[in-house]
Structure 1
Amino acid sequence: MACNGDKFFFFKIIFVLYSVANSYGYVCQGGWYGLECKLRCFGHCRNNAFCNHVTGQCDNGCAEGWKGIYSECKDGYYGLDCKFKCSSHCQNNGPCNKKTGHCDEGCEAGYTNLLCNSVCPSGYFGNRCMERCSAYCLNDMVCNHVDGVCADGCDDGYIGDRCDKLCKGGYYGRNCSQKCSPKCIDTCQHTDGSCTCSFGWMGINCNQDSTDSVLPIPLIWFLGLLLSVVLNLCFVLIAGFKHFR
């Protein structure tokens, strides 16, 4: 039943009640209506207005959350004339407040504000958007605002849907699919496989045999120093020989 009433349906009643009211020469006190003012208004008129003293209808419409003086908005709708649709992201799929549209029990994961119609700010996810995305989503991509998943995968050295786990010991790289070199003294770095090499091995991943390469730099320095000493000694001996001739 609409708050403005069906004038055709109530025509006879209105006529009779107005006639009775006029014959007594008074109007019902605010909040009451009908024959001899024995009926109390339902109290759902807009802006807390009193109902019509004859019909009991709300002449200026219903309050938020009501559609007709006898019926609230059905679940999923709210506001004046119940014309606004609730968010579909209220906690536990519950209905919103029929007056304000607020999700009184809060929002489901990934959504925020009173109406639960906004996603979490970039870089956050989960209930009340309190959790931070991983800093290791591939190519600095932002995680999913609901569950924190890194949809495009993880940076080198990290695994898990949320890229929040390191490679286990002995593995490194994209999806932790590379094995550390057995020539590492200890386990390698989980990101690029670099490590401290065992004797006789060199390179970032200790995969180069140092015996196959150019002489190590410290040895070159030693040989250079030795050659310098020998040459200097020769010069001294030659100079001394010339001096005593």
Structure 2
Amino acid sequence: MTITFISQIGLRKCNNNTYGAGCKKQCHDRNCEGSQYCNAKTGACKNGCKPGYTGQDCTTVCPIGRYGIGCRRLCTDRNCKLSQKCHHVTGNCEEGCSPGFTGIDCVKECRPGFYGPDCTSNCLNRHCTLQNDCNNRDGACICKDGYQGVDCTVKKSVNIDGSTKPAEINPTWIIVGTVLGFVIGICIGVCGVMLVSRLR
């Protein structure tokens, strides 16, 4: 049995799949959330629109720069890695999230204890003076002795004398090395000339 509605426009009957002036609009073209009840006059969705759509009958795509339920989210509030292209339904970041953020639309910060790209780096693996102080983007902290890097995960190289400072280069050795290289170069050149002259 076909359920019919009386359209308030022209007192014409619309069946349960159409609505609006002349019953020309299709109820199944809407993007309703939950109930698919179809008002014969307006096509209004009883429970509002699905994410990414707006308007009384939920047939209008979110305007550029907005997405989600009721088109209330701003694309500029996301933390995308590169492209800021914004899907009107999900706000999906095409190239993934910037370090420190996660989720389809990259608005969630890493959960406590993690940081970096895809939130996969563990704060406990760092060598910080204050272990609990963990920046969600890069894990930045003040390093303990013997470690370096933004997140203190790089071990400093130890010199012969046990220090972790870069070894100082003696300028005398630089001069000696340069002169020695020059002399060897001349010797090779002379030997080459002599060898060629003998072969003739």
TM score, norm. by length of structure 1: 0.48
- Distance in 2 separating the partners of 1:178 and 1:104: 45
CA apart distance, 1:156: 0.7
Cα 1:215/1:201, change in 2 over 3 Å: farther
1:138 to 56, 65, 81: 81
Q: Which residue of 1 aligns with 2:70?
A: 128
Cα 1:77/1:143, change in 2 over 3 Å: same
1:124–1:132 Cα contact (<8 Å) kept: yes
Partner SS for 2:118: helix
Q: Which residue of 2 aligns with 1:160?
A: 103
Q: What is the percentage of aligned positions where both structures have the same residue?
A: 34
Q: Which residue of 2 aligns with 1:195?
A: 141
Partner SS for 1:138: coil
1:204 aligns with 2:154: no
1:74 aligns with 2:15: yes
CA apart distance, 1:113: 1.6
1:107 aligns with 2:49: yes
Q: Which residue of 2 aligns with 1:41?
A: none
- Distance in 1 separating the partners of 2:136 and 2:63: 31
Residue 185 of structure 1 aligns with an amino acid whose one-letter code is T
CA apart distance, 1:111: 1.0
Q: Which residue of 1 aligns with 2:121?
A: 178
Partner SS for 1:73: strand
RMSD: 3.4
Q: Which has the larger radius of gyration?
A: 1
Q: Which residue of 2 aligns with 1:97?
A: 39
Q: Which residue of 1 aligns with 2:26?
A: 85
Unpaired runs of at least 5, structure 2? 1-5, 158-162, 169-200
Unpaired runs of at least 5, structure 1? 1-43, 47-62, 67-71, 217-245
Q: Which residue of 2 aligns with 1:214?
A: 166
- Distance in 2 separating the partners of 1:158 and 1:95: 39
Residue 166 of structure 2 aligns with an amino acid whose one-letter code is V
CA apart distance, 1:215: 6.9
